[in-house]
Chain A
Amino acid sequence: MNGRERIFAVIQNKELDCLPLMPITMMFAADRIGAKYGDYASDCRILAEAQIRTAEEYDFDYVSAISDPAREAADLGANIHYFDDQPPAINEANALLADKTRLAGLKPIDPSQGRRMSDRVQGVALLKERAGSDKLIEGWVEGPCAQGADLRGINRLMMDFMDDPNFVRDLFAFAIDLELKFARAQIEAGADLIGVGDAAASLVGPALYKEFVFPEEKRLVDGIHEMGGMVRLHICGKTKKHYEGMGKLGCETVDLDWMNPMDAAREVMGPDQALCGNIDPVEVVKNGTPEKVWNGLAECHRQTGPKYIVGAGCEIPRESPLENVRAITEYARSNQPVAMP
């Protein structure tokens, strides 16, 4: 079985030879080929090379075009800080929509005309061309809360929920119109699956999640499905309070960050949901030992049962000891999935 087949198999409840393996790498991957992260995020050839070399070296089952959340905001004209060896960052003080009234004049741009969005679409095409026969190809978009925060500034957005709920609805609708276009372009370029990152959603309570975030996440997930793509949901941070909604989105696979219990996720989201995670990227992967990695994953696997995908709670940090990352792979390769009941 190759990696691509393995991920399809876990999602479609088919027989597997070992556990599927989908850890997120960005800066870790750039470092593997000695590339500066600034170049990784701005030149898809470097991203593709780093992703493919890392996936080959560590036998990951997929490659991804994820890099940073600022691509869409950059193309819309936001003020972005670029760094030599760090991810680009949005200048929040001067966020594009620091003045709310500017939303009305904003248009969801075409990804093929943008600069940084086009680079990601081309990155997907390159990954597909070079690795598409044996690795799953992952594209990436932002969820409503994350993209809303990128455009408006996260501190402002958090208060907008109460100050101006209609603005938040319009903002999220705008964001998802844009992300749907972005997802379509990546699927057309060869993405099998689209990762949806919605980190800021972990900061709001269940009531706001249900009212504002879930409906737009759902529209995004349904839209990607209609285009023939699969979805991986990735919300950083504490998400136990949102389990119910996250399960109802109908994503092919859901990531859980390290502080969230896998067993409760299995219980709430049901037996059909593939779940990926969730050892602590910093304490276990970066600061731990191969043994700690192995034991941590064994516990995640035990709690999750069937339909388990091996991964860390979030990005594998740069400077993680290579033997620890190898231990993640060894765990996946030497373990059989728990059988479906």
Chain B
Amino acid sequence: MSEWNSLYDAILTGDDKTATAVTEEALEKGAEPLELVNQYMVPAMDEVGKRFEEEEYFIPEMLLSARAMERSLALIQPRLAASGAKPIGRVAIGTVKGDQHDIGKNLVRSMLQGGGFEVYDLGMDVPHEKFIEAIQEKDVNIVCLSTLLTTTMPSMKTIIDNIQQAGLRDRVKVMVGGAPITPEFADQIGADCYGDSAYSAVKLARNLISA
């Protein structure tokens, strides 16, 4: 896996210009789109996650790497679609109503995109009904809810209850996260799973789809 190592390096160092240039060159030279994602981009983001946990990387470095990955991915996605490759699943993600914190949510979004999901980002301070609309209109399989405020945690339960009442609960899995959220809380409100980081989100989402 050495041929496009510079893609790995560029994502790891958050250099989006090099990342997109290498991606373009690789695609021109006939590299397999899926291989670029799985052999270079995903491992680079795994390493970013490791460095974050070891406090060698911080939020700025993570956001830059995520941007480099997103931009390369944007070049690859049309090829993937053209080759008939289907996304692993469709995700709607947002920070719940009343909460304006979105850095963590943005990182989860990038990781899920990198992990092969089609992601609809509903933004921050998202009205409850937008999640229902996304399930109905975009046919998403997973709803991801984020919040950093203790005061807005109850909204997660309201959203899950609303999904239930709309008769859509069987159609989607619900994953929740954000600093104050715990696995116990996720259980209590009837979510399908809790994720503690943007990195765990991809694995968890894959498990949810195959479950």
Number of interface residues of A (CB under 8 A): 20
B209 within 8 A of A: no
Number of interface residues of B (CB under 8 A): 21
6 more A-B contacts (CB under 8 A) besides A162-B14, A204-B59, A286-B150? A90-B100, A92-B102, A158-B60, A204-B60, A208-B58, A282-B150
A264 within 8 A of B: no
Q: A162–B67 Cα gap in the complex (Å)?
A: 13
Contact with B along A281-309 (1 / 0, CB 8 A): 01000100000000000000000000000
Across the interface, which residues of A come within 8 angstroms of B60, CB to CB? 158-159, 161-162, 203-205, 208
Known A-B contacts A155-B103, A282-B150, A317-B150; A205 and B58 likewise in contact (beta carbons under 8 Å): yes
A154 within 8 A of B: yes
The interface residues of chain A, by DSSP majority, are classed as helix
Across the interface, which residues of A come within 8 angstroms of B123, CB to CB? 93
Q: A218–B61 Cα gap in the complex (Å)?
A: 25
Closest to B13 in A: A162
The list of the 7 closest CB pairs from A to B, nearest first, reads A205-B58, A203-B59, A158-B60, A89-B100, A158-B63, A161-B60, A282-B150
Known A-B contacts A159-B64, A162-B14, A317-B150; A205 and B57 likewise in contact (beta carbons under 8 Å): yes
Residues of chain B from 98 to 118 with CB closer than 8 A to chain A in the complex: 98, 100, 102-103, 106
B interface vs A, CB < 8 Å?
A: 14, 55, 57-61, 63-64, 67, 98, 100, 102-103, 106, 123-125, 150-151, 180
Picked from B63, B98, B100, B151, the residue with its CB within 8 Å of the CB of A92 is B100
In the assembled complex, 15 residue pairs joining A and B whose CB atoms fall closer than 8 Å, in A order, are A155-B63, A155-B102, A155-B103, A158-B59, A158-B63, A158-B103, A159-B67, A161-B60, A203-B103, A204-B60, A205-B60, A205-B61, A208-B58, A208-B60, A286-B150
Highest count of chain B CB atoms <10 Å: which of A90, A162, A204, A317: A162
The answer to whether B150 touches A86 (Cβ under 8 A) is no
Residues of chain A from 73 to 95 with CB closer than 8 A to chain B in the complex: 86, 89-90, 92-93
Query: What is the distance, in angstroms, from B59's C-beta to the closest C-beta of chain A?
Result: 4
Closest to A27 in B: B151
